[in-house]
Structure formats: C-alpha cells, structure tokens
C-alpha cells in the first residue's frame, strides 16, 4: 500500500506547543515515526522556522529526522502562487500561504495539513485554490487540519 505523503506547514509544528492543537500535531508526528505517513515540507517552512522560538526550531529539527521530502522553491511555484494572488484568493501579505499551497500542489502530495483556518483550511479558499489548480492542469489538493488526518489516539 502506498504511504500517503503529508505536507506539513509551519503552523502544525508550532501546534505541538499549543494546548488547543497539540494532541493532533503531536499525533501526526507519532504517525510519521510509525511510518503511517511520509512527511513533506518545503523551503518556505525552513525559512519561516528561522524566526520561530527555539522550541519550534527544535521540533522542526525533529521532523527532519523523519527524512521528509523537502520541496524547493521554483518558478512554477511562484507562478501558481501568483495565480492565487491574481484571483484575490489571498492578499500579498499572505503570499507565503499561497506558496505552501502551490508547492504542495506541484509536488502532487496526498494532503496538506495546517492549523491556518483563515487562509488555508477554509472551505471557500480550498475551492478557489483548487479551481486555480485545475485551470492550470494540476489536480485538486486535499487540505485538512491535523485533527482530521492523524490516526494516533492517546
């Protein structure tokens, strides 16, 4: 059986330290350890973690021990993120959120997980991202919170 590739954005890593989100973010890390899912991350996550608190940086370092697929920035990703901008799905202030979506889309991951309910895990935004993706020949991207994805139960 194919192991599902799960793109983890920065909010999931930070979620390990938030009482509201920790059970599911940590559960996702347990799923990675147990080989239930293959983690995927990107150069954007790496860049965002640089300014994060040390404990978040350490958690990201832990994620790297699971040998994730790391997606590099590309002209193709910028073009797709720009398409999200031109459709006004996101404002320029949240360009990196669009890059997460674009990178996960181009890499053809199975699912992107995030705790960003305003700009990423949002019913109308997901529909708009996927409309732009389909117009450009990409497949739909599945977007969920870790709570909906993790198989780990305490």
**Whole-prediction pTM value?**
0.95
Contact 126, 143 (CB under 8 A): yes
Q: Which domains does the chain have, with CATH numbers?
A: 4-149 (3.40.50.1010)
DSSP per position, 90-132: S-GGGHHHHHHHHHHHHTT-SEEE-S-TTTTS-HHHHHHHHHH
Q: What was the pLDDT predicted at 154?
A: 65
Q: What was the pLDDT predicted at 104?
A: 98
Contact 6, 149 (CB under 8 A): yes
| Successive 10-residue mean pLDDT values, the chain, 154 residues | 94 97 97 97 97 97 97 98 97 96 98 98 97 97 97 79
- The torsion angles phi and psi of 86, rounded to 5 degrees, stand at -65, -25
């Amino acid at each position: 059986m194919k192991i599902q590739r799960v793109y983890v954005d920065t909010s999931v890593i930070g979620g390990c330290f938030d009482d509201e989100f920790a059970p599911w973010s940590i559960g996702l890390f347990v799923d990675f350890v147990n080989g239930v899912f293959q983690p995927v991350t990107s150069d954007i996550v790496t860049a965002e973690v640089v300014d994060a608190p040390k404990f978040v940086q350490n958690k990201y370092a832990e994620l790297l021990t699971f040998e994730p697929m790391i997606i590099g920035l590309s002209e193709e990703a910028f073009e797709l993120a720009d398409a999200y901008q031109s459709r006004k799905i996101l404002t320029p202030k949240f360009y990196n959120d669009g890059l997460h979506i674009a990178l996960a889309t181009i890499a053809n991951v199975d699912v992107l997980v995030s705790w960003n309910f305003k700009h990423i895990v949002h019913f109308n935004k997901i529909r708009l991202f996927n409309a732009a993706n389909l117009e450009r020949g990409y497949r739909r991207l599945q977007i969920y919170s870790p709570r909906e994805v993790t198989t780990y139960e305490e």
